[in-house]
Amino acid sequence: MSEHANKVVIVTGGASGIGRQTVKEFVIQGAKVALADLNRAAGEEYATELRDAGHDVLFLYADVSKEADCENLIRTVVEHFGRLDVLVNNVGIEISTPIHEMPLNEWEKMQAVNVTSVFLNTKHALRVFLEQGGGTIVNVCSVSGLVAWPNIAAYNATKGGVLMLTKSIAIDYAKHNIRCNCVCPSIVDTPFTNASIGAENLEAIKKEKAKLNPIGRLGTPEDVANAILFLASDKASFITGSALTVDGGYTAI
C-alpha cells in the first residue's frame, strides 16, 4: 500500500508546472485528487487524461484569490470525496514591476493570489480538519521567502508572508493533529519560469540561471512534487512549521 493511497488531496494551480506534477505524483500513489485552477480548459483536459488512465481526479474551477471560490472548492471536495486529508496551496504569480513604478493594484493582486489564497483555502480546510481530527497542509513558498531575489520585491514580500503563515498555522493547530509546512524551491523549469524570462534567448538564460545553484541545474517539477509528497506523508509526522529548501543548494551559499 503506498503512503498516499485513498487520501483526499487538493492541489491548487494543478493545471500547470509544479502543481500539475504534484497531482500526477499523488494519483500514482493512489490518492484521490481535486485539482483547482483558473485555467478551465487546461484543468479539465488534464483531469480527463488522468481519469482515462484510471485515476480518481476531479477538476474544479477556482480563482483562489476569492473567498467564495475557496469555500466552494473545499465544500465540493468534501461532498464529492467524503473528507479532506491534504491541502497543497501551490498557486503563485509573479509581477516584476520595480517598486517605484508598481501601481497599487498590481501589489494588491500579488498579495491576493499569493498570500490571501493561502489564508482563504487554509481557513476553510481547517474547519474540515478540526471536525475530522486532523489533516496536513503544504504551501509552495520559494527561496525568495527566505532571501530576497533581485527585482521582484513584491513577489519576495508575498513569499515571506507565506513562510510566516506556514509557521503560524503550524504552531496554532499542532495540538489538533494538523501539520503545516512549506517547500522553498529556487528556479524550477515550468511555464511560470519561461514566462518570467521571456521568449528571447530562453534556453541560454536558463543555462546561466542554472549556474546559480551549486548542483548546476534548474529544479524540475518532480523535484518539488517529491518534497511536497514527503511533507504531506506520515513519514513527516514530526515535521511541522518547516520550510524545506528544494533549491540545488542555492540558499546554502
- In the bound complex, what is the minimum distance in angstroms from residue 75's beta carbon to ligand NAD? 17
- In the bound complex, what is the minimum distance in angstroms from residue 184's beta carbon to ligand NAD? 7
Of 191 and 214, which has the nearer Cβ to ligand NAD?
Answer: 191
- In the bound complex, what is the minimum distance in angstroms from residue 23's beta carbon to ligand NAD? 11
Of 112 and 130, which has the nearer Cβ to ligand NAD?
Answer: 112
| Terminal Cα distance for the chain, rounded | 39
Of 44 and 130, which has the nearer Cβ to ligand NAD?
Answer: 44
> How far is it, in rounded angstroms, from Cα 188 to Cα 185?
7
> How far is it, in rounded angstroms, from Cα 101 to Cα 44?
37
- Active-site residue, 155 included: yes
Distance of CA 55 to the CA centre of its chain: 21
Give the active site residue among 46, 155, 173, 250.
Answer: 155
Of 6 and 26, which has the nearer Cβ to ligand NAD?
Answer: 26
- Yes or no: say if 6 and 56 are a contact pair by the CB < 8 Å rule: no
Helices (H), the chain: 17-28, 40-52, 67-81, 104-111, 117-132, 153-173, 191-197, 202-210, 221-232
Of the candidates 7, 52, 53, 48, which has an alpha carbon nearest to the alpha carbon of residue 26?
7
- In the bound complex, what is the minimum distance in angstroms from residue 253's beta carbon to ligand NAD? 17
The secondary structure element, H or E, covering residue 243 is strand 243-246
Residues that bind ligand NAD (CB under 6 A): 12-13, 15-19, 37-39, 62-65, 90-93, 113, 140, 142, 185, 187-188, 190-193
Positions marked catalytic? 155
